[in-house]
Structure 1
């Protein structure tokens, strides 16, 4: 009988609610339920909230300070191990402060421990310095060198993944490593030591350095110091910000003097006074929690030097209670810091909903009657909504062929109809979009390939990549390259006897053959001026055999000229002569790069370029004239004939040689 009346009641409800909106059906019964439940829960939660907040705050502070302490221990352990490895290499003479040998080991240390900022060593006798560090923006690695070749300045170079030097970045100015805090600290103690917090030479950010003195192989003579930098304030800031210190809580670390080591805030930890940049005190922080907590510690006469055990207390900022925990942090290497955690009481209130059994029981009683009534309605509503949900999930998985049938509530019928129309439109639009995307992708890929080929025909790939990265100044000094200048003999008189179009076609045939040789020997064509041709070996990517490659190309250029005869151009069979080429070669240092903002051209500058040009202009037709520098590099693999001493315009007397062929 009860089941009969229950089914009858359900049928009546369906007739009554069939044309009522879904919002009305869902809001009214659940609103009564929520109002009753929240009222009861709120009343009893308020009574027990304060005790729960204090307990939760205590546990959170204990856990977070322990995690900070654990992270600090990890930060300070690794750098000393790295220093020990580097000082062993240093004492055995395995670190070259000029060529950068063993720099790949420094680079590997930083890759294995990303929180390290720099790894380096400095020499006591000369003040030489070499190391690897992150760039200022953290996007690539830099080689740092200071020696007599840099005139006592710090020079920074870009390096590749193997630690090989690629290009010069900038001159960071005078740098004396023996006067830096990390060097003096290690020299004074003669053992592993941490420096005081100081401002990094290049980034001007608060830094701390683990350093270790280095002695010669017999352990008698002090020869230098190896160090490892941590931008501790920034590394700790990232760690502290990821701790989840409530909603508005903060953590910070201070020295016993009150100096701010790091914090979870984004505020600057330095200030500029005149030309000097100084690390701020915690009482000068822009963050109110850090600043007021530090002031409270000082105003309450808490002697920071006597805190040897964890301490907990609370105080108020603008009538809001703050929970504070202090944990001393020290070790045998000179650290003596305080970890401070401050969390507002309000951060915990949102987590307090119900903590007593009586509250739970009352909530259950408050929910029983509304739940029985809601189940009957929810059952009626849930089926079509479930069908709609299943269809939506199928569409999200790419199964677009979906149809939804719904009866009952007005909104659900309208929604089902709209959904079916939408799925059809999505199918049509998706098909059209797929086709259009495929067409546009093909077009874009084709245009990109054309642009890439055009750019690489103008500039070397390494230079083109720098231009695409919007680097403003692209120039670097190359210490050892070989330059070739070539000039077609008798070409100027010939230009007056044949049409310009025919003349250009002849040049194009010759220079195209030269271009093929440049590609064959992986050399870089620089430019052509009239009937002159310039090519260089050893840049933009350094190579050891640049002089040999240039010599091979020069010899083959002479052979190519045998294929071109004047009679083929002038039509004079009786006066048929081969074209001759005059070639000059020199080896030395240059500056290479791209200047200006329009019509980019990769070019070379330097005394070595001028001398190579003079070798060509002062040479003889059909001959290859080289300088004594190039001769010294090639004399054991190529045949030469001494020309003797000649007077070179603008350079004075020079000893030159004729390159004849390979041995």
Structure 2
């Protein structure tokens, strides 16, 4: 069975290359499988690499999302832990919210702690307001009561909490502010919707807790702290996703909470701060991803659990992971991570190109070696062929086979055998030539001898004819004489 199979393939091979010269066939036989192997290996490496890259991209997107969620929960969790602790001290009777000097002392003690919140403020139903803020090593007090004439005074304070100078005074009523009204309406600890801070270049949100009188149960005020959305964006910018990977946190309305690009999550139009919607982003990837999400899910409210999918943005494949972030305090956001496939595929292209370069280099070396091998094989064959032609033309030259005969391989053995055979053939031809010459000489002698015998016979025949002719003439002459007489 094996022999039949081999014979079958040999016939196909012989029909394919049997008419070609060894000079061309041998390099082709050596290089073709090598190039085919390089191409197949490169293709399989590329495909396997793509699969591994897709797994890696999913891992990166998942890890990035987990880091974003962890940071957000820590960032949001700090107010959710510390503010209730401050409120517990107030409700335990240690601090009376209507005794503003007492509130100030308590807040000042808390704000100096390195692990404290950056801002603490309280507003009461009477319109009183106390706030402390810290930025690095500087502290600011904000205060409003009956003595400030409905204004909120800004004071610079020293390391002991003493006021050093009045910075400014502005009309202010805490009871009409979002952080106060929203907590009062919800009736429990809550995060407010995003809104514009006092500076038009800052938007953020507050974590507020309503305060109720322990005896009467009546609403008494709100204790609150705020966070800036810019801080979340700074974290996203420092997040390592991929070279062109993007991260986005947005509300289900499409309004941006934070973004990993240099773009701010808000824009200022005519001195008015407006929330940035994902479809209005100047970044093509963020804008395209937001548009695709809205088209895919019709409404972002439909996203209830983690989603992973790919889509093409201007011909480039993008991996997107969308993960909801929710808590009991009113947070309901979407964390979005976008990773272009090209960020990882370029490594595959690099490795594939390197494989091709190595393969082509090896193929080039193989071609050179094949040509040398062809030369090594063809040269003795040509010398053997030349020797055979001289033998055929009876001009055999022993020196033709000297180089081949010196080789130690099969060609050398063949050259020696052919040289001996040529000598035998040459000797035989010389003997045959001598024998032919002798035969030819003998034949000539025979022909000469035979030619002499024939001449004698001809002479004798001529003599007989002459005699008969003379006899005939004599008879004719005698008859003439008789007739005349």
Q: CA, structure 1 residues 133+42, in 2 after alignment: closer, same or farther (shift >3 Å)?
A: farther
In structure 1, the residue matched to 2:342 is 346
In structure 1, the residue matched to 2:283 is 287
Q: What is the distance in 1 between the residues matched to 2:240 and 2:41?
A: 27
Q: What is the distance in 2 between the residues matched to 1:60 and 1:262?
A: 20
Secondary structure at 1:343's aligned position in 2?
strand
In structure 1, the residue matched to 2:304 is 308
Aligned-residue offset at 1:253: 0.7
Alignment of 1:101 onto 2:105: yes
Q: What is the distance in 1 between the residues matched to 2:85 and 2:216?
A: 16
Q: What is the distance in 2 between the residues matched to 1:278 and 1:128?
A: 30
Q: What is the distance in 2 between the residues matched to 1:282 and 1:267?
A: 11
Alignment of 1:169 onto 2:172: no
Aligned-residue offset at 1:98: 5.2
Q: What is the distance in 1 between the residues matched to 2:304 and 2:213?
A: 40
* TM-superposition CA deviations, 1:383-419 (whole Å, max 9, x none): xxxxxxxxxxxxxxxxxxxxxxxxxxxxxxxxxxxxx
Aligned ranges 1:200-279 → 2 under 5 Å: 200-202=197-199, 204-218=201-215, 220-231=217-228, 233-279=229-275
Aligned partner of 1:160 among 139, 143, 158: 158
Secondary structure at 2:105's aligned position in 1?
coil
In structure 2, the residue matched to 1:146 is 144
Aligned-residue offset at 1:259: 1.1
**Unaligned stretches of 5+ residues in structure 2:** 1-37, 366-485
* TM-superposition CA deviations, 1:209-235 (whole Å, max 9, x none): 11111123425222111001111x212
Q: What is the distance in 2 between the residues matched to 1:343 and 1:203?
A: 33
Q: What is the distance in 2 between the residues matched to 1:297 and 1:158?
A: 47
* TM-superposition CA deviations, 1:223-271 (whole Å, max 9, x none): 111001111x212112212220111111011111111111111212222
Aligned-residue offset at 1:203: 5.9
Q: Which has the larger radius of gyration?
A: 2
Q: What is the distance in 1 between the residues matched to 2:210 and 2:47?
A: 63
Q: Do the aligned residues in 2 keep the contact of 1:107 with 1:163 (CA within 8 Å)?
A: no
In structure 1, the residue matched to 2:194 is 197
Q: CA, structure 1 residues 302+117, in 2 after alignment: closer, same or farther (shift >3 Å)?
A: farther
Alignment of 1:86 onto 2:86: yes
Aligned partner of 1:185 among 133, 158, 182: 182
Q: What is the distance in 2 between the residues matched to 1:69 and 1:291?
A: 22
Q: Do the aligned residues in 2 keep the contact of 1:45 with 1:353 (CA within 8 Å)?
A: no
In structure 1, the residue matched to 2:124 is 123
Q: Do the aligned residues in 2 keep the contact of 1:193 with 1:333 (CA within 8 Å)?
A: yes
* TM-superposition CA deviations, 1:577-618 (whole Å, max 9, x none): xxxxxxxxxxxxxxxxxxxxxxxxxxxxxxxxxxxxxxxxxx
Q: Do the aligned residues in 2 keep the contact of 1:48 with 1:355 (CA within 8 Å)?
A: no
Aligned-residue offset at 1:79: 0.9
In structure 2, the residue matched to 1:58 is 58
Aligned-residue offset at 1:177: 1.0
Secondary structure at 1:247's aligned position in 2?
coil
Q: What is the distance in 2 between the residues matched to 1:85 and 1:167?
A: 31
Q: What is the distance in 2 between the residues matched to 1:204 and 1:224?
A: 28
**Unaligned stretches of 5+ residues in structure 1:** 1-37, 370-663
Farther off after superposition, 189-198 or 252-261: 189-198
Secondary structure at 1:305's aligned position in 2?
helix
Aligned ranges 1:381-460 → 2 under 5 Å: none
Q: What is the distance in 1 between the residues matched to 2:185 and 2:289?
A: 36
Q: What is the distance in 2 between the residues matched to 1:87 and 1:195?
A: 18
Greater relative CO (CA pairs within 8 A, separation 6+): 2
Q: What is the distance in 1 between the residues matched to 2:347 and 2:171?
A: 56
Q: What is the distance in 2 between the residues matched to 1:120 and 1:247?
A: 42
Question: Which structure's residues are more often strand, by fraction?
Answer: 1
Q: What is the distance in 1 between the residues matched to 2:262 and 2:149?
A: 39
Q: Do the aligned residues in 2 keep the contact of 1:97 with 1:145 (CA within 8 Å)?
A: no
Aligned-residue offset at 1:48: 3.5
Q: What is the distance in 1 between the residues matched to 2:300 and 2:342?
A: 28
Q: Do the aligned residues in 1 keep the contact of 2:155 with 2:168 (CA within 8 Å)?
A: yes
Aligned partner of 2:115 among 96, 112, 117: 112
Q: CA, structure 1 residues 119+102, in 2 after alignment: closer, same or farther (shift >3 Å)?
A: same
Aligned-residue offset at 1:39: 11
Q: What is the distance in 1 between the residues matched to 2:250 and 2:121?
A: 27
Aligned-residue offset at 1:86: 2.5
Question: Which structure's residues are more often helix, by fraction?
Answer: 2
Q: What is the distance in 1 between the residues matched to 2:307 and 2:284?
A: 21
Q: What is the distance in 1 between the residues matched to 2:345 and 2:216?
A: 62
Q: What is the distance in 1 between the residues matched to 2:158 and 2:347?
A: 51
Q: CA, structure 1 residues 134+148, in 2 after alignment: closer, same or farther (shift >3 Å)?
A: same
Q: CA, structure 1 residues 292+140, in 2 after alignment: closer, same or farther (shift >3 Å)?
A: farther
